[in-house]
Structure formats: structure tokens, C-alpha cells
Structure 1
Amino acid sequence: MSPASAQLGRLRKAWAAADLKTRCVWLSELLAAPNPRQATQLPLIVDRLIGTRESVRKFIDECCDKDQHSYEQADALLVSYNKWAVARGDDRLNWTSFGCALRQLGFHRRKSSVNFWHGLRLRPVRGASRESSGTHKPAHLPGNGKVSGRVTV
């Protein structure tokens, strides 16, 4: 199998596995390329997005606990991810890329007065204090209402 055929196969699998929002992000990034008619941009974009998902997966494995009854504030997760990524020499992510990666990994966003990601909790960082983000359970969120705090440095 030629390298081009193998890459096309990877693209097809990634496209088939992606949800509608992720596909829209890929297409918008492709169309935002300097020359949208260059089909060679799509493999680079897909490879970058797959790499983003894997980077977020590593962050979750190293810095988060998966707990179906917990919720973590979206801004706390993104700030923590970006600090972790910079320390590793990886690129920072914006809200859209980070959210797409979390959705691809099976997590769900919930909204109360702020956005939460269901099923994740940041692990305490040594030397960091955790401010309470609230002790109330958002009315529409199921479970025991565990809500993690924000990491401050």
C-alpha cells in the first residue's frame, strides 16, 4: 500500500468517526487555508486535529480523574490544559478545539450559570489551592452534584 493510500484510509476513518461539529471545524479550517483549492491541506488539518485529541487524552490521563458523578468547570479545564501543554512544549488550544477533543473522547458539556464538563475532575496540584466554585448542585445536572473548584497558582 502506498503512503498516499494509507493516508487516505486514515482520513476516511477519521471523517467517519467524527461528529458533525468536528467535521464542520475541519472544513472551516480547510476553507480558511491560504488556497482552499489545495486538497493537500486536508491531511495536515486532520493529522493536527487527531494529534489534538491525543494530546487532550494524555492531559486527562495525567491530570484528571474520570468520575461519572463529577463536573469540572470548562474554563478551569482549559486553563489547566494550556498550562500543561506549554510545560510540555505543545500548542495551546482554543475553546473550540478543546471542546471538540473532549466530545470526541466521550465527555459531555453541561451548562448552569457556567459551562461544566461532565465526568471529569481535575486532580489537586501540589502547592496549588482549590477555590470552591460553588457547593450547590446545578438544578438540571444529575448525580450527586460534586463540582470541582478552580485551580489557582
Structure 2
Amino acid sequence: MPVLRSAAPADADAVTAVHLASRAAAMPWLPVVHTPAETRWWVEHVVLTQLRTWVAVSGDDVLGFVAVDDGRLEQLYLRPDRRRQGLGTLLFRQAQQAEPAGFTFAVFARNAPARAFYERLGCRVVARSDGRGNEEREPDITYAWRP
């Protein structure tokens, strides 16, 4: 099983690669609204500096990451070849430890595998939107996890 550690600035390229590959594989229908360079900037200057972020690693390879902030699960992404191996649950459990009072997060409505994953972990739907509030303009669902 991979180990979790706090993300470091040196992880920016690997975290960006995981983010881009995961979104492309899991949501090929999702509009791409940022270039890879813009995504890399966001990872370096937001995900790794403004959020509490952990990476799952095997040796030097970053396999996935999770980021939380003040009652929100902001990011949880896995390399596509690491899905359905327990890694997502490991990262989700880290988010639970980091935010023991609970958290909310959004999932695109069409992302049925992600929705099923979170529902298996006990998350519940608390709101739905038509997508006007996100950059992709894609309907989403707000979930909550409560202990």
C-alpha cells in the first residue's frame, strides 16, 4: 500500500500530472477550461500552498492526492491506473482525519463512478446545481460527510 505524506513544493509537477490525467480519464466529457501551464500554476500557488494537501506515494511516484480546507474536501484525484485499488479510500480517510467535524464537496453530476464511491463511504447529497457556479458550467452535486 502506498504511504501518505504532506505534499511539498517539489510535488507540483507530479500533482499536476495526476490531476490532468485523472480528469481526462474519468470525465472525458468535461470541458477543459485551463491549459496545462495554468493548471500547474494553480497547483503550485493554491493547492500546495493554500490548502492542506497530502500525496500518496510509492517510492518517488505520486499516485494520488487529497486537499482540504476549512470544512471542505477541495481535491481528491488518483492516477487512472490506480483506481479501484483502495487508494481513493486511503486519501478520503486522510481527509476525514484532517476534518474530523465533517466536510462538504462538489462532484459533477455526470461523474457516476465518483458519486458511487463517495456514497459508499457514507456521504450524502445536500444540494444540486445547474452548473452556473462552476467554471465548466457542468451540473454538480454537493455532498457532505459527517462523522
Q: Could you state the TM-score of these two structures normalised by the residue count of structure 1?
A: 0.28
Structure (1 or 2) with the greater strand fraction: 2
Q: Could you state the TM-score of these two structures normalised by the residue count of structure 2?
A: 0.28
Structure (1 or 2) with the greater helix fraction: 1
**Larger Rg, first or second structure (1 or 2):** 1
* Larger RCO, structure (CA 8 Å, separation 6 or more): 1
